Amino acid sequence: MKAVKKFLKQQFHRALLKVFRRLGNRNNYYLIRGNIEQANRYTNPILNKPESWFVDFGECWFYSLDTVRYGTLELLSREIYEHEIEGSVAEVGVFQGIFASAINNYFPDRKLYLFDTFEGFDERDVQIDRQMGYGTQSYHDFSNTTIDLVLSRMSHQEKAIVKKGWFPESASGCEDEKFCFVSLDADLYQPIYAGLCWFYPKLAHGGYIMVNDYNIDNYPGAKKAVREFAKNNSISYIALPDMGGSVVIGKPLL
Ligand SMILES: C[S@@+](CC[C@H](N)C(=O)[O-])C[C@H]1O[C@@H](n2cnc3c(N)ncnc32)[C@H](O)[C@@H]1O
């Protein structure tokens, strides 16, 4: 029964991808195409070879419907390559590595830093959210992951650098690094605010930070962190209509 269910799910997913692909190819919809494959006609200007890829959504196929999030990632990567912006890429809040594997695909020649406890939320961060009056009892349990599972999803595994531990402590030793793209997807106030403070000064001009969960009621700390950081540093951001209610922060080109 389980095997039949899995098979049907896979078939449904495949059929869905086929429809998206058709639409994407016919109408040049980057948003639709973004999470399906890096457009096979697109030639990475730096690597000078076509990169075709497919995110392994595995059991989490539902995420593949988030065309806005993945399409935005594709378009930001194009901006970065076309403007020849240097730097590594990173994600804080990796969980099972699904979005991280897409980052790895779109930035195949960049070091990819993967920051996570790989054990779920840290009680210190949950406590801070609680003190802010947020209903932390609805928070998800993200302990169901392993570093091996995450690495197995990476098609350019040699570029992945795992930083296991509590962020920002786990970032020590990387202070001299420059970044062109960062995903902050740690849900809670503390790691997101700390992530913005830590990465923004290290972000290359022409680089981007994507923060997930800004417009998600479950995790109000994300919005608070972004708004506070933006106000304190006079920066602006753009809200996306993706499933995770993300925002994008850019650092102006010089
Ligand atoms: C929503 S999940 C990430 C999902 C993933 N980005 C994706 O799209 O597939 C949030 C992750 O943030 C991690 N996290 C939260 N606070 C953290 C902290 N202070 N340090 C390290 N990891 C943290 C959790 O362990 C969890 O795996």
DSSP states of 164-231: ESSTTGGGTT-TT--EEEEEE---SHHHHHHHHHHHGGGEEEEEEEEETTTT-TT-HHHHHHHHHHHH
Mean of pLDDT over the chain: 86
What single letter denotes the amino acid at residue 224?
A: K
Answer with the residue of higher pLDDT: 160 or 154: 160
**Contact residues for 36 (Cβ-Cβ < 8 A; gap 6+):** 17, 20, 21, 24, 54, 64
What average pLDDT does the segment 42-64 reach? Answer: 54
Report how far ligand 1's centroid is from the alpha carbon of 114 (Å).
Answer: 10
Q: What band does 50 get if pLDDT is binned at 50, 70 and 90?
A: very low
- What tokens were used for 116? 């996570």
pLDDT for residue 22 is more than 80: no
166 ligand 1 Cβ < 6 A: yes
24: tokens are: 């994407």
Burial class of residue 6 in the structure, from the number of CB atoms within 10 Å of its CB (0-12 exposed, 13-18 middle, 19+ buried): exposed
pLDDT confidence of residue 44: 46
Ligand 1 atom 8 nearest Cα:
99
- What's the whole-number mean pLDDT along residues 42-68? 58
Q: Which of 35, 92, 211 to mutate to test the pocket of ligand 1 (most atoms within 8 A of CB)?
A: 92
**Cβ pair 142, 60 in contact under 8 A:** no
Atom of ligand 1 nearest to the CA of 166: 20
Q: How far is CA 27 from the centre of its chain?
A: 26
Residue 62: CB atoms within 10 Å: 11
Give 166-190 pLDDT, tens digit per residue.
999 999 999 999 999 999 999 999 9
Question: How far is the C-alpha of 189 from the C-alpha of 55, rounded, in Å?
Answer: 28
Say how many Å lie between the CA of residue 192 and the centre of ligand 1.
10
pLDDT bracket for residue 15 (50, 70, 90): confident
Highest mean pLDDT among 38-47, 130-139, 169-178: 169-178
- Return the CATH class of domain 2-250: alpha beta
Q: Is the pLDDT score of 30 beyond 80?
A: no
Give yes or no for residue 66 having a pLDDT over 90: no
Please, which pLDDT band fits residue 159 given cuts at 50, 70 and 90? very high
**What is the CB-side half-sphere exposure of residue 53 using CA atoms within 13 A?**
26
Predicted confidence at residue 137, as pLDDT, reads: 86
